[in-house]
Structure 1
Amino acid sequence: MLAFLLALVLSAVTSTVARPQSYAVWAADSAIARGQGNGLDANGKAIVSYEHGELQWGLQQLYDLTGNKSYFSYIQKGIDNIVFPNGTVHGSYNVADFVLDPLRTGPTFLYLYEKTGGVKYKVAADIFRGQLNSHPRTAQGQFWHKLKYPNQGWLDGIYMGEIFYAQYTQIFEPNNLTAWSDVTSQYTLMFQNTIQNATAPNNTGLMYHGYDFSHKASWASPDRGHSPEVWDRALGWYSMALVDMLAIMPASNAGHSSILKILQTLFPKIVAAADPTTGAWWLVITQPGRAKNYFESSGTSMFVYSLLKAVRLGYIADADGSIVAAAKKAFEYITANWVVSNADMTMGWLNTVVVGSLDTTGDFNYYVSQPTDLNDLKGLAAFLLASIEYEKL
């Protein structure tokens, strides 16, 4: 670990004149050099973005490892672009929209409050926490992903909302058993309503992108209302949410064992779903090798992060080393195929699908028709996280 930290620090110091030895530092410095994840959109207007929150989560870890204050400054600058001095959250955020995605920046509010004591960050966090008090739910209690998608729960939403929910509870309401139970319920309801069963076509034992509890969506299955396919990034969001939650929720809480059981059920199946030749994961995991399907970089990076962190923290046993071996194989494919060295020494990032939604058909043809993007932050931030875990090996 000491050698790892030293390498990161040295890499950070020299990153302006040479490619860093650390992929984590290289990814972070490249995103910063391009002004990504700074609380502003392409036109320089404030925006509350889950992608920015994802990058900030990685920068927090990198700052804590290296002590490089430029990472902390960038995090703070990004949040100051969306939080007024009085704590009001602006930049496209409207609580009345009832969307879970913006809440992904909430963990950064909490991080800055703990680091600086700045009252405005606490006020901003209170605003987000207040949204959860009135956020619409299914009859079972699952948060709707968005107000405009009634009764729909998406795997994405667990990563967007529950990490913030749990961190807020841990910091300000650690004895609020109702809140901890609610957090746990979000995970278990999503799992129960989207897990593939033994009779499912193309059964992987993994989780569909989402479900409609009202069964009104055109894609909703007759049994539980789930969507037709397992999409890699949705499952990636949920996987990262599992390992991150277990590091937040007290082990003494009954919910911890419930979430741990889900992780231990899913992660061996995630490993089994990797392509045996490349080690990467298909965009549509339920249709491996089908024409137009491809290996996708954001989901693959999310799985590497989740698997390695789960093993490192002891959430899943890896006596024979097969889980770490699978993650290493995937990481090596990532760096060989999707990492590009640019002339200005920044890192280019390839093959992240721009979007995946359940607002249309949610079928195979929908997912494979979506474009991929260069330097897409959803994938680059996931690679930063994966690199941190890989380099800890």
Structure 2
Amino acid sequence: MNGTTKLLLAAVCGVAVAGVYAGQPVLGPMGRDLDVPADALGWFVATGQLGYLAGLVLLVPLGDVLDRRRLIAAHLALVAAGSAITGAAPVAWAAFSGLAAAGLFAVVVQTAVAYTASISPAAERGRNLGIVTSGVVIGILGARIVAGVLADLWGWRSIYLALALLAAVLALLTRTLLPADVSRGTARYGQALRSFGGLFARPVFLGRGLVAFFLFASFGTLWSGMALPLAEAPWHLDATQIGLFGVAGLAGALGAARSGRWGDAGHARRVTGIALVLLLASWAAIGQLPWSLPLLILGVIVLDFAVQAVHVSNQHTLTAAYPGRTSTTIGAYMVFYSLGSALGAAGTTALYDATGWTGSSILGATLALCALAAWAFSTRAESRAARPLSPSSTVVGRVRC
């Protein structure tokens, strides 16, 4: 797997996921423009996450049936369409429709991750996954930086129109530059869907999935709620200034880039546990937002380091456990991610409206504690039962690396 392929796949991940999160620093202006009340602003993010959830169930299993290169290009084109609808929406229902469509096809991220895992030698899988999934982090956090600047210059709609253009260009590049997919199996779509559902009964998968659910709920609590208190007294920050907090998050997440190599060395469980302790500790600093921006920045760095380290370790563990069905496995795992992110986004804005940032901080810390408890459960499950599926239970063909 050459450097150009890895960078292109990282860009695909970044642009696709950015459309789901780009509205976070501009929830206020979006709500005012589209007449959405303050306690419902989190649904601008949650709607994209629910669309993402539908895509994980219905679209990602196609990666174990069809040519992933063509799927990546097609889904990027549809992400572009959804982003364009959002940017041009005259009323709230149209914007929600566009966000749901962009979220639905943003599952191209999971197809790209599965494609990466399938074409990587086993000894390099974790490192390559770390590089490609860094595009997800850059998309989630970098989108906030760019979104704030674009919103101040040309309004919030310019964010989604720019993303539509980028997704369309990447659709052309991936169709042209990515090598043909030779790892897909011979399963039918119905078989892939049944295989998808069967994963939820497996202890190793369920344990890692619960970690992801609480992990991303805690992550969403911060990033979907933070813009609201920063825009109010005593800080009164504008969209550009709020978006710049993404730099701190990006620094923390990229600091975890080596977590894939730690997984290759056999330390995935230990890395996950340490990172979740850091996640819980980060909320002590994040809770100081009303009084201290330096402590908030420190907390953001630590939180995003922890989230990326756990996320890469989870994917490394699961793709190693189920090597013949990477698309289905990653898609099913990301159901937990999507539900957790939607919970965090909706919960933090509702709590902030009622209790202020204290309520949001308690929610984030509680979710981090739940993630740590889920890790303890998953560690026991992996010790007892972690082993790949038998050849007779796989539904896809042999992977070629």
Which structure has more RCO (C-alpha within 8 Å, separation ≥ 6)? 2
TM over 0.5: no
- TM bucket (normalised to shorter chain) is under 0.3
The structure where strand makes up a greater share of residues is: 1
- The alignment's TM-score, normalised by the length of structure 1, stands at 0.26
